Structure 1
Amino acid sequence: MIIEFPYGKESLKLDVGEERLQGILLSKLHGYEAAMRQEELVENALRHPVGSPGLSSLADGKKKVVLIASDHTRPVPSKLMVPAMLRDIREGNPDAEITILIATGCHRGTTEDELISKFGSDIVRNEHICIHDCDDRLNMVKIGTLPSGGECFINRIAVEADLLVSEGFIEPHFFAGFSGARKSVLPGVASRETVLANHCSEFITHPKARTGILEGNPIHRDMVWAARKAGLAFILNVVINSRKEIIHAVAGDMEESHVQGCRFLDGLCRVEARPADIVISTNGGYPLDQNIYQAVKGMTAAEVTVRKGGVIIMVSRSEDGHGGEGFFHQMADEPDIYRTMDLFLSRGRNETVADQWQTQIFIRVLQKAHVIFVSQAPDRMVRALHMIPAHSLQEAMAEAEALIGRHHATVTAIPDGVSVIVVQ
């Protein structure tokens, strides 16, 4: 059986004997056919909000309105969403002073060209847009203490709004359960120290801080608290397919509508684990497989179904290299990953350092299985990150069988590791 794995903007193929193939774990997301066009899905969600009045009603009498929008790292179809939200806000109050606040989290600032690509030139030219900077302490306001105990600082623009709303998209998330909704505030427009406290080692270790889990997830609980305390009153969130097209939309109350969206997504993405000696996974190709840092997400899907001591073959083009200096040095500067993990676990929630959470999850994967990395990243870099480099799936399979110690080891394939929720 020939199986195709996304790799950058192309794909790699592998012939796997049916007698050894345990299963191909596929999301139904990308084959789902929506009953309406994208614009109609957005309009329908806005006309039928969940657990909330409509956006125009909420905007009535509100002077300072802030719309939190996703940044350049997220494939949110903002060109279809933001104009509809702006229209509804102005229907409720034509004189509203609207600010679009770009939720960069701890990412770099979004450039003007990226803003135009995301929103279109009309919105960039005519609307007031501010870009969040997590290190700008003068523009942060402490709104309280998170349930976890960390101090919660949020962008002043969001806190001082008369009406705070957001757009975004929902996808499986490897430690927050799902993206979307409350994440617009934390980490979206929170200070760096607040994000670090929320991403502490204690929470990353928690068994509920996993893909597809909201109930009992301490990271999610902190995020919901921060968004409620900041006053997030209304959201418009969408689910998109591999072509970045909207196939579902929800709007309304930050929690109630988000839960509905997550249930829809869960119904398409949940797959049963098929334990195997070798598990092949990807990040779904471009744009999510541009660096090794992001590739950890696809590895976590394989982690659930690979046998202890087995091999994960991670297919990620990674032409941009490691993707984070902190991440790289946390892995490369210490040959013993168990010592690194012990160091992370010894740190309190207010002692978290940048990229620690990603490194911690990566080490957790490596503690269960060997990782062979098929990429264009330099071999020396891959080895420094405690993985085995390979340049083709065929080479990776030969290396995996050598590690397992026999030919015809069992195989499970996950062509898109970031679009599935693998459950045991």
Structure 2
Amino acid sequence: TACILICDITRPVPNKVLLPPILETLAAAGVPREGITILIATGMHRPNEGDELVELVGESIAANYRVINHFGQNLAEHTYLGTTERNVPVWIDSRYIEAELKITTGLIEPHLMAGYSGGRKLICPGIAALETVKVWHGPQFLEHPLADCGILAGNPVHDENTKIALMAGCDFIVNVTLSQEREITSVVAGDMIQAFERGVAFVQEVVKAELREPCDIVVTSGAGYPLDTTFYQAVKGMTGALPAVKQGGTIIIAASTTDGIGSPEFQSLFQENATLEGFVQRILGKDYFVMDQWQMEELAKVRRKCRVKFVTQGLPAEILQGLFVEPVATVEQAVRESLDEYGRNARIAVIPKGPYVLPVVAG
């Protein structure tokens, strides 16, 4: 039997390109079609079904193979593998654990908490239970200064999910890197750690953009579908721009938010917390947990440093005002307002697709 992990609809992974050669190789090796499970590593995201499932893998694979979703909140579908040295209980989807051959696919790009996506992340948080993710995504990890975009060395989020992935096991990975046009720029395959590190080395060469000094104003976006369909996802565009903006500066971000704010749990966080400062104090205590709180924690990091002007047609202004951002009708208007505030000589950086660029300030 074989289990192949794929990213969900929130990642622009070219599964229709990656899966056919993997499936052909398995068939040539004698693995029967009925022994193959393609498991969508949803993490804590909603399942991808119907048209979305077909969009993910293509009509032929959807019709001829077992393609199923991971449900992180259903503990009964997970196997307990033990507890890490940092006291993270490890629960991983049983359908993966029970497979004789374990393969993961994915996309390597900058990631706001784990340094880079891909590799080990398909296993944790991809197919981990909420009981695992809520500790691994807790403030004891995310508030660490090295739990940041583009950082692997000393990053506790990366270190921990690598250890968790090794506990679960992985026989082979196939990861890609993409251009801004979503074209494949490289493919790495083989050992989970070695192939991932090779892919990261390639990405580092192409995503870093050096600045002489932080800017007053940074204009960016959530990088379009599927990365900006919710406010939850759009936070990644804000964090991507964060190194480029000075303390007290402004990030202007455009995102579609066609699917609204995010999960019901994420929405509830804004209703329960009048301020981001109060929210951070609550999560630092031991008795408060709401799923998806980690994204609000990242939003709090952004707002500690700068203001955020948010441009979208997907959410009304009165809703945006409750999300700790400032609603603005157009990017042009947001730029004019910011120039009025900082002066005509203000330094401005433009990052067309926020999550795909890693700004580095010289020195």
Which TM-score applies when normalising by structure 1?
Answer: 0.80
Structure-to-structure mapping, 1:28-43, within 5 angstroms = none
Change in CA separation of 1:155 and 1:258 when aligned onto 2, cut-off 3 Å: same
Write the deviation string for residues 147-204 of structure 1: whole angstroms up to 9, x where unpaired: 3212110111111111111111111111111111111111111111111111001211
Counterparts of 1:109 and 1:101, CA distance in 2: 11
- Equivalent of 2:237 in 298, 320, 328: 298
Question: Which stretch shows the higher mean deviation, 278-287 or 367-376?
Answer: 278-287
Counterparts of 1:294 and 1:176, CA distance in 2: 15
Counterparts of 1:326 and 1:171, CA distance in 2: 27
State the identity %: 36
Question: Which stretch shows the higher mean deviation, 180-189 or 283-292?
Answer: 283-292
- Equivalent of 1:190 in 128, 136, 143: 128
- Equivalent of 2:279 in 315, 318, 340: 340
Which TM-score applies when normalising by structure 2?
Answer: 0.93
Q: Which residue of 2 aligns with 1:235?
A: 173
The offset of 1:408, in angstroms, is 3.6
Q: Which residue of 2 aligns with 1:66?
A: 3
Higher Cα Rg: structure 1 or 2? 1
Preserved contact between residue 13 and residue 106 of structure 2 (Cα < 8 Å): yes
Counterparts of 1:209 and 1:331, CA distance in 2: 24
Structure-to-structure mapping, 1:149-298, within 5 angstroms = 149-273=87-211, 274-298=213-237
Q: Secondary structure at the match of 1:287?
A: coil
The offset of 1:403, in angstroms, is 4.1
Change in CA separation of 1:291 and 1:125 when aligned onto 2, cut-off 3 Å: closer
- Equivalent of 2:301 in 358, 364, 367: 364
Matched, 1:373 2:310: yes
Counterparts of 1:293 and 1:370, CA distance in 2: 17
Write the deviation string for residues 219-239 of structure 1: whole angstroms up to 9, x where unpaired: 111211121111111101111
Q: Secondary structure at the match of 2:309?
A: strand
Preserved contact between residue 11 and residue 227 of structure 2 (Cα < 8 Å): no
Preserved contact between residue 65 and residue 162 of structure 1 (Cα < 8 Å): yes
- Equivalent of 1:413 in 334, 347, 350: 350
The offset of 1:249, in angstroms, is 0.1
Preserved contact between residue 10 and residue 226 of structure 2 (Cα < 8 Å): no
Letter in 1 for 2:14: P
Change in CA separation of 1:108 and 1:301 when aligned onto 2, cut-off 3 Å: closer
Q: Which residue of 1 aligns with 2:19?
A: 82
The offset of 1:368, in angstroms, is 1.0
Letter in 2 for 1:199: H
Write the deviation string for residues 98-129 of structure 1: whole angstroms up to 9, x where unpaired: 22122111111111322222222222222222
The offset of 1:210, in angstroms, is 0.8
Change in CA separation of 1:121 and 1:315 when aligned onto 2, cut-off 3 Å: closer
| Count of residues in Structure 1 that have an aligned counterpart in Structure 2 | 358
Segments of 5+ residues of structure 2 without an aligned counterpart are: none
Q: Secondary structure at the match of 2:36?
A: strand
Which 4+ runs in 1 deviate beyond 6 A?
Answer: none
Write the deviation string for residues 330-388 of structure 1: whole angstroms up to 9, x where unpaired: 2354333212221122248xx64211111011011111111111112211111111221
The offset of 1:95, in angstroms, is 4.3
Write the deviation string for residues 53-91 of structure 1: whole angstroms up to 9, x where unpaired: xxxxxxxxxxx2111122222211111111111121222
Preserved contact between residue 281 and residue 315 of structure 1 (Cα < 8 Å): yes
- Equivalent of 1:137 in 67, 71, 75: 75
Greater relative CO, 1 or 2 (CA 8 Å, sep 6+):
1
Letter in 2 for 1:272: E
- Equivalent of 2:335 in 391, 394, 397: 397
The offset of 1:402, in angstroms, is 4.4
Alpha-carbon RMSD:
1.8
Q: Which residue of 2 aligns with 1:21?
A: none
Counterparts of 2:174 and 2:231, CA distance in 1: 31
Q: Which residue of 1 aligns with 2:249?
A: 310
Q: Secondary structure at the match of 1:297?
A: helix
Preserved contact between residue 105 and residue 132 of structure 1 (Cα < 8 Å): yes
Preserved contact between residue 96 and residue 102 of structure 2 (Cα < 8 Å): yes
Q: Secondary structure at the match of 1:418?
A: helix
Letter in 1 for 2:210: E
